[in-house]
């Protein structure tokens, strides 16, 4: 048996790391993230439909990641979970979700995962995690006041003010996708109408892509649906790249809706930086900048509008919660 000094040396040589989870409406992803922000392992699977199936799949993926951690010489300090829905991070419970994660309500994630993995578990909303990822590893490093907008199946957000993450009175702060950008407009997955998410989310773009496809106006100009795939936002983006003007008009309207939402946020919070994250950020960022320059109050225009440089801000943010707490830094 090695002496205590040898064991201490082995302990030091291990790479302090976190298991990070991103549970979205479309994909369930698990990664190993080191304390320097490097993703050394990542796996992804389609998000199962049922709640029990989601939890079962997640546990299997976490156990597989732990096996990989041994080979990678990573010491896992805990599990950080980024999930859609309104989350009570103190209790580790998903309180409520929209139809993007239908039925994902009153779910205790902390207890079963901690019991199975024998690790501490932290849980927060995906938009909040994206903001934490930017604060720790991205554009938000050393920035005290900024907003992150996460674009994906839905639209999430996170707000950092005075270097603190804002959760709100009952953990409903930064639901930025549900800022009204129209008095009418399409119906949102939250049940209301005219929300930014109803225009700018992946679900909204998919809805419009389906409409164009049903009208025979999506696959034109030589663009074809190879393999007869299910219609998605990706097809709308690709159609626009092939010169489809109607597809481009949908994307332009989505970017404009995002611009209205960001301008409203500037007038309420007056941050120094707004970060757009996710697959749609590059599509929206220039139009958002233009609208802020034209429509925001002059005193609110002194703001940077940037697309995230992080590939996985929510995963990195989930990991950062573990790394901050486990290394006794302030969260």
Q: Do the beta carbons of residue 116 and residue 296 sit within 8 Å?
A: no
How far apart (Å, rounded) are the C-alpha atoms in residues 212 and 208?
Answer: 6
Q: Do the beta carbons of residue 78 and residue 19 sit within 8 Å?
A: yes
Q: Is 126 a catalytic residue?
A: yes
How far apart (Å, rounded) are the C-alpha atoms in residues 133 and 313?
Answer: 5
| Residue carrying structure tokens 């496809």 | 213
Residues 136-158, buried b or exposed e (16+ Cβ, 10 A)?
Answer: bbbbbeebebbbbbbbbbbbbbb
Q: Of the listed 10, 71, 126, 295, which one is catalytic?
A: 126
User: Could you give the 3-state DSSP secondary structure of residue 93?
Assistant: strand
Interhelix angle 233-241/245-269, nearest 10 degrees: 110
The residues assigned a catalytic role are: 126
């Amino acid at each position: 048996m090695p002496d205590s000094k040898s064991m201490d040396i082995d302990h030091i040589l291990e790479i302090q790391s976190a298991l990070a989870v991103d549970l979205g409406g479309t994909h369930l992803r698990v990664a190993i993230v080191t304390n320097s922000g490097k993703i050394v392992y990542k796996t992804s699977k389609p998000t199962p439909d049922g709640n029990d199936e989601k939890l079962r799949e997640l546990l299997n993926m976490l156990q597989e990641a732990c096996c990989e951690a041994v080979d990678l010489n990573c010491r896992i300090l805990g599990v950080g979970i980024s999930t859609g829905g309104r989350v009570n991070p103190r209790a580790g419970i998903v309180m409520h979700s929209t139809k993007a994660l239908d039925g994902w309500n009153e779910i205790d994630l902390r207890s079963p995962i901690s019991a199975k993995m024998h690790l501490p578990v932290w849980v927060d909303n995906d938009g909040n995690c994206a903001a934490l990822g930017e604060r720790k590893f991205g554009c938000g490093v050393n920035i005290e006041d900024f907003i992150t907008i996460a674009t994906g199946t839905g639209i999430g957000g996170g707000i950092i003010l005075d270097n603190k993450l804002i959760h709100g009175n009952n953990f409903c702060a930064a639901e930025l996708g549900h800022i009204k950008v129209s008095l009418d407009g399409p119906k949102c997955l939250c049940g209301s109408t005219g929300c930014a998410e109803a225009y700018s989310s992946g679900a909204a773009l998919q809805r419009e892509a389906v409409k164009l496809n049903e009208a025979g106006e999506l696959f034109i100009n030589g663009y074809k649906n190879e393999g007869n795939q299910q219609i998605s936002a990706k097809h709308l983006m690709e159609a626009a790249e092939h010169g489809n003007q109607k597809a481009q008009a949908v994307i332009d309207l989505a970017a404009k809706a995002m611009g209205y939402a960001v301008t409203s946020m500037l007038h309420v919070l007056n941050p120094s930086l707004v970060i757009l994250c996710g697959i749609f950020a590059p599509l929206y960022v220039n139009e958002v900048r233009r609208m802020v320059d034209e429509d925001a109050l002059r005193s609110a225009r002194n703001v940077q509008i940037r697309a995230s440089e992080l590939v996985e801000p929510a995963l990195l943010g989930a990991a950062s919660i573990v790394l901050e707490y486990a290394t006794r830094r302030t969260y």
